[in-house]
Amino acid sequence: MKKKRVIFKNVDVIDIGSKGLSICKTKEDTIVMVKNGVPGDIVDIETYKKRKNYFLGNIIKYHSFSKSRTNPKCSHFGLCGGCGWQNMLYESQTKYKELKIKHLFKNIFNIDKINPIVNCDENFYYRNKLEFSFTDNRWLTENEIKSGENKIDRLGIGFHLSGKWNKVIDIEKCYLQNDLSNKIRLSLKKFSKTNNITFYNSKFNNGLLRSLMIRNSSLNEFMVVLQFCENKFEEINRVMTHLKLSFKEITSLQYIINNKKNDSIYDQKIHLFNGKEYINEKIKNLNFKIYPKSFFQTNIKQTVVLYEIVKKLCDFKGKEIVYDLYSGLGTISQFISSKVKKVIGIESIYDAVESAKKSAIENCIDNAEFVVGDMKNIFNEKFIQKYGKADLIITDPPRDGMHKNVINELLKLETPKIIYISCNPSTQHRDLEMLNCKYKILSVQPVDMFPHTNHVENIVLLKLRDQ
């Protein structure tokens, strides 16, 4: 039996919750979580799900709008899974990100003073990497459904629908990356439709065009990587030739043939069609080569800001041995190398480590060493014996945080200082709880790397407690 939906009227939107949802509180103190609400709005809500302590609902009417509200720039706002905060003034976005960090660190660590968040000067066109999905069954808008047309074009290329990762909405214009990204995507879509090139069907795992990755650098170099589901050489060649001839700006044009159920590229062979296998990027005076499988910060200007903060917090004296955990392309290692005796980067992806070694040579850095291996297995007593006891550790793990084995090793090692960088303060907070028995927090510094989203980068400086 279908549960009855509840309607709450004249409800205050009071705060921002997890995953970008807004927190609403009724006059009876009932909590309802909604999308697209801005604190300060007064709304009517229809619920669609009951949780233990709150409802999930949709806003069905606005009585008044918050002073923090603004008109979204993007026509896809509300459907697209990205940029969920575009309806909020930027200064309000960063205010709530800062509050998020304060709430996290107040509860367990009783830290009242959090450094003010570092804002992002450019909050549109700041990303250097976007990935788009092809579909032969795109999500239809309400207007399209209401039109009653039988022959609606279902082909599309875009992003996943908010909250529905198996559905794709067709994107006309995205404001996150250099506008050449839009031109490449739209040209590819038009060419493929005109030439009857098939789009991907996720249910049956067929159709030629599967995904599109576009990367660009501050040096104005562009990488395009197309993923095909089927090995149809003639059609692949036609598509790739179209991109080659249409966009001379593409520095690196590559493709992948992937018939797996998932579109992860890390276990796939990459074919170079035209240009170089990489694009060049620069951080201050350091040069880096970015390959299709390379992890690289998506906001290069804010990355420089982040690294400068890290360097300042480290307060190097010039004689330190530093471990850089989850080192990726070795960007942090090389950024700090001139200030330390030696830095050892550890990374699980072989290609990233090889790239880090090459860029270190190119950058004339001889005191940085890079080691490949799974962090939870390689970072142990044997490793410490080989490379020496660290004076400082920098860790920048993926969103899932650090493995408990790594945390246990940090506790055994008792390095005087740790700097923990995270794009997910929740898992960072979890890990810090485990480190809390031996380390105290000296500084918490949020940095906005991802405008118009609920994501925030956070830097925490830890010092070993007096034993």
Domains assigned to the chain: 1-69 (2.40.50.140), 93-123+299-464 (3.40.50.150), 129-282 (2.40.50.1070)
Q: What is the pLDDT of residue 142?
A: 81
**How far is the CA of 56 from the CAs of 19, 52, 94, 134, in angstroms?**
13, 11, 25, 30
- Mean residue pLDDT across the chain: 94
Low-confidence ranges of the chain (pLDDT < 70): 1-3, 467
pLDDT reported for residue 467: 56
pLDDT at 81: 82
pLDDT at residue 1 in the model: 41
Alpha helices in 148-202 (DSSP H): 180-194
Percent of the chain residues topping a pLDDT of 70: 99
Active site residues: 423
Identify the pLDDT of residue 150. 75
Helices (H) and strands (E) counted in the chain, each on its own, are 11, 21
**Displacement of CA 380 from its chain's centroid (Å):** 29
Give the amino acid at 126: Y
Closest CA to 346 of 397, 405, 270: 397
